[in-house]
Structure 1
Amino acid sequence: MGKYFGTDGVRERANEGLTLEMSIKIGQYLGWYYGKEKHARILIGKDTRLSGDMFELGLAAGATSMGAQVYLLGVCPTPAISYLVRKERFDCGIMVSASHNPYYDNGIKCFNHNGEKMEEDLLLEIEAYMDGNCTIDLASGDHIGEYFNWEDGLEIYMSWLKEIVPVDLEGYHIAVDLANGSATSTVVETLDSLGATVEAINNSPNGININTKCGSTHPENLQRMMRENDFDLGLAFDGDADRLIAVDPDGNLVDGDYILYICSRYMKEKNTLNKNMCVTTVMANLGLYKALDANKIDYIKTDVGDKYVFEEMQKNDYYLGGEQSGHIIFYEHAVTGDGLLTALKLLEIMKNTGKSVKELSEGLFIYPQLLKNVKVNDKTRALNDKALKEVVDDVAKELGDEGRILVRPSGTEPLIRVMVEAKTDDLCAQYVDRVVEFVEKNNY
């Protein structure tokens, strides 16, 4: 990770950690870098937060000052940028979004010409320009670029989704929580055109209500809606619509672990689970691994982050992977998580099997899980301490095959994360507290 770009782009409080000047410089460098031999073609999208216009136009101004032709997609899902960059042969794509963060944050995520997260070497070059460590020449005369509002882009994206998942949803009653974010631009229109009856909540973005007590990180209202009405499935998206958490008719959450289980079993049955492999992160529930074992499906654990899931899938040509948080990647079709694609895949399985999402989840027992953060002065010293390792090993031995413990550092804060899965909530609390108290007592 660099000074500004983390594993998921630049993400800070708007006009504080992330400024208009920064967006202009990012646009300038990309316009210059891809425009050395011709006018660069750059695609820019945004979610619904208030500062999105500012950063969208800052990026566009910077890029056109270097001669780029900039296409503005407007409010759109992040995966739409990823797909359209590949499909329409843009040199790169930029998404203005802070995903599930509050409205006052914003972010800039860059994609290369393949629709993948931009190479770290190039991001480091951009950072050097942002810090004034290199100079580039502005375009002049008839080499100055221009921008266009690209109205057809979302239609191309939605048509592609319906082509790869051509499911007839006639008779399905679906509730959706659009988080007042990017999903408002595509979800209802797509599901409706496939024949579903759709009822949407949090579908009126005003710039400051994105992710506010709604969407995949706050699905409580959707759960209540499912319990009180007659729906076949509930779908909750995050701010930029690259994640999905589903809800069954009883109001129970169907998170990424459930979705990976359902999809891997179906894909294996249809001989489309390439190399019989499901890619997960270390935070996937122990119950998922036991259920995959029972179904003779192989799995790999990566570090936390969809970036690492994708790298493993790309390296070995695996077709299914994702995170508990709802980032699911169908590598046969896409190179990033896509909440709407995931929803369509789930509905396709329901349609083709005639089963409810609850029936499709049979055989998966999700172990109770507890995660606590402990503040420390030195994460490395704490995690390498022999005494702490002994405490963690003792807990692991006591849990045996009926639980697990994971102790890891936060990637961005001075914290150690202690997570335990066990058969009961009481056991989780007992073991987590044992480790947390030890860390606090030793004052790392």
Structure 2
Amino acid sequence: MTRKLFGTDGVRGTANTPPMTAEMALRLGAAVGRYFRNDGSNDHRVVIGKDTRLSGYMFENALTAGLTSTGMNVLLLGPVPTPAVGLLTTSMRADLGIMISASHNRAIDNGIKFFGPDGFKLSDAAEAEIEHLLEAGVEPVQAINIGRARRIDDGRFRYAERVKSTFPHGHTLAGLKVVVDCANGAAHRVAPEVLWELGADVITVGVSPNGYNINDNVGSTAPRTAAETIVAHGADMGICLDGDADRVMILDETGQVADGDQVMGLFATRWAEAGRLAGNTLVATVMSNLGLERHLGGKGITLDRTKVGDRYVVERMRAGGFNLGGEQSGHIVMTDYATTGDGLLAGLQFLAAMVETGQRASELARVFETVPQKLENVRYAPDRDPLALSAVKEVIAQAEADLAGKGRLLIRKSGTEPLIRVMAECEDEGLLARVVDGIVAEIGRSAG
């Protein structure tokens, strides 16, 4: 059974434009409600969180209507990070968790992510079954069996306590000045609170959401403001989260950015030395830098690569019994603590390394030398397939021949947007630029 509606991370698109309409959210709520309320009882519940996008109100109400129409009881968390939904789904004994967010995307976009009762994102097979129910149509329950909805006011506090509990016992952040950029998103309150409660001198960026400014020149995809703030205030480091706080970029005291590869490299090395890296393996995607693979290999650590998407990283981690994985983009998954990527949690673990070693952020954030990597995105019309065109295939084939034995090439379609991502790695930066630019130009010409 194939999926048409779901991408690599739930359903996503421009709000009020198919598929991200209120009508679709209502139907999707009914379909997923029927999928999980399969025994006809009235004891089933779902928790719903959201980020700070204006359209979140619309989708929250539509999903609630669809879910309650099938007898599901809905617990509304309000704005909380995505990892909080995974956590509270299990702690509140819910059958299902839903996060309304388009993550790092622009404010006019939105998305719907689903978590199973174990707090992990749903499998491709489960999503395909839900799509089948949606297409077939769902009969509502009788009036006496309609579900209830209620607000949960302390969701973020429960999450905060869990995140703080992962920080090494007996240590504090006293004496450290930390810049935290919350992208005007879901963590705009909880992240500064957690850092302050652990003793840090906290300087905030991106903590004034208005429904329109999420990820707008702030956050993990736009760390310049945070970098400038670090330098201006003489801070020790910075934590840049994205809109739903499931990914992070770490900044050192000079404002330099350490991406997910560097952070994973640090954690994997420290965990392996401490004997706590399960299977002596780090799980990452095909996008992770070749330099990370070389560094880990030199330490006797295996890098297990998956296709792009943190859910596929987690699936491989669970299948192999591994406890550390993530993506170059900043999803850091530590299943000893959480069921999904958690930017704040990763930031705390980096701070823990600073406290325990006494080293500066710049000393910890440069774990390996990166192999030059170039990534370009090409937007295309959703009704076209540029990668199927002969001219594009020829350019790609030539690029692969040029890189043979010198580097690697990865071309894929985004699972959340109509983008083709062209990435290559090569020590010869001139060749690297020619290869990527040539492919991007041909895709643009051939796809109109």
Provide TM-score, normalisation by structure 2. Answer: 0.90
CA spacing shift, 1:134–1:436, aligned 2, 3 Å: closer
Q: 1:407·1:418 contact (CA, 8 Å) conserved in 2?
A: yes
Q: 2:268·2:277 contact (CA, 8 Å) conserved in 1?
A: yes
Mapped to 1, the partners of 2:270 and 2:211 lie a distance apart of 39
Mapped to 1, the partners of 2:328 and 2:103 lie a distance apart of 16
1:184 aligns with 2:188: yes
1:135 aligns with 2:129: no
CA spacing shift, 1:170–1:424, aligned 2, 3 Å: farther
Mapped to 1, the partners of 2:134 and 2:65 lie a distance apart of 15
Tell me the percent identity: 40
Q: 1:378·1:414 contact (CA, 8 Å) conserved in 2?
A: no
Shift of 1:435: 5.1
Shift of 1:352: 0.9
Shift of 1:179: 0.4
- Matched residue count: 437
1:57-206 equivalent positions in 2, closer than 5 A: 57-131=61-135, 133-141=136-144, 143-166=145-168, 167-206=171-210
CA spacing shift, 1:119–1:391, aligned 2, 3 Å: closer
Provide TM-score, normalisation by structure 1. Answer: 0.91
Q: 1:370·1:428 contact (CA, 8 Å) conserved in 2?
A: yes
Mapped to 1, the partners of 2:207 and 2:444 lie a distance apart of 44
Q: What amino acid does structure 1 have at the position aligned with 2:194?
A: T
Alignment-derived partner of residue 256 in structure 1: 260
CA spacing shift, 1:11–1:434, aligned 2, 3 Å: closer
Mapped to 1, the partners of 2:404 and 2:408 lie a distance apart of 6
Q: 1:278·1:297 contact (CA, 8 Å) conserved in 2?
A: yes
1:19 to 11, 18, 21: 21
1:352-371 equivalent positions in 2, closer than 5 A: 352-371=356-375
Alignment-derived partner of residue 35 in structure 2: 33
Mapped to 1, the partners of 2:282 and 2:239 lie a distance apart of 23
Q: 2:31·2:137 contact (CA, 8 Å) conserved in 1?
A: no
Q: 1:407·1:416 contact (CA, 8 Å) conserved in 2?
A: no
1:335 aligns with 2:339: yes
Alignment-derived partner of residue 317 in structure 1: 321
CA spacing shift, 1:135–1:146, aligned 2, 3 Å: closer
Q: For structure 1, which segment, 429-438 or 275-284, has the greater mean C-alpha deviation from structure 2 after superposition?
A: 429-438
Q: For structure 1, which segment, 299-308 or 322-331, has the greater mean C-alpha deviation from structure 2 after superposition?
A: 299-308
Mapped to 2, the partners of 1:186 and 1:63 lie a distance apart of 28
Shift of 1:215: 0.4
Q: 1:45·1:73 contact (CA, 8 Å) conserved in 2?
A: yes
Q: 2:42·2:147 contact (CA, 8 Å) conserved in 1?
A: no
Shift of 1:115: 1.1
Q: 1:71·1:148 contact (CA, 8 Å) conserved in 2?
A: yes
SS in 1 for 2:330: coil
Q: Give CA deviations for 1:304-338 in whole Å, capped at 9, x if unaligned.
A: 11122111111101111111100010022222101
CA spacing shift, 1:362–1:34, aligned 2, 3 Å: closer
Mapped to 2, the partners of 1:103 and 1:115 lie a distance apart of 26
CA spacing shift, 1:415–1:232, aligned 2, 3 Å: closer
Shift of 1:247: 0.6
The two structures, once aligned, show a CA RMSD in angstroms of 2.5
2:397 to 385, 389, 399: 389
Alignment-derived partner of residue 410 in structure 2: 407
Shift of 1:436: 5.3
Consecutive unaligned residues of structure 2, counting only runs of 5 or more, are none
Q: Give CA deviations for 1:384-432 in whole Å, capped at 9, x if unaligned.
A: 95884354133223x2xxxx22132314577654322234643421343
Alignment-derived partner of residue 379 in structure 1: 387
SS in 2 for 1:184: coil
CA spacing shift, 1:124–1:197, aligned 2, 3 Å: same
Alignment-derived partner of residue 11 in structure 2: 10
SS in 2 for 1:70: strand
Higher normalized contact order (CA 8 Å, seq sep 6+, divided by chain length): 2
Consecutive unaligned residues of structure 1, counting only runs of 5 or more, are none
SS in 2 for 1:182: coil
Q: 1:379·1:414 contact (CA, 8 Å) conserved in 2?
A: no
Mapped to 1, the partners of 2:418 and 2:184 lie a distance apart of 32
Mapped to 2, the partners of 1:7 and 1:294 lie a distance apart of 32
Q: What amino acid does structure 2 have at the position aligned with 1:126?
A: I
1:290-301 equivalent positions in 2, closer than 5 A: 290-301=294-305
Alignment-derived partner of residue 209 in structure 1: 213
Q: What amino acid does structure 2 have at the position aligned with 1:244?
A: V
1:348 to 338, 347, 352: 352
Shift of 1:241: 0.5
Q: Give CA deviations for 1:170-207 in whole Å, capped at 9, x if unaligned.
A: 11110011100001131011111111110101101000
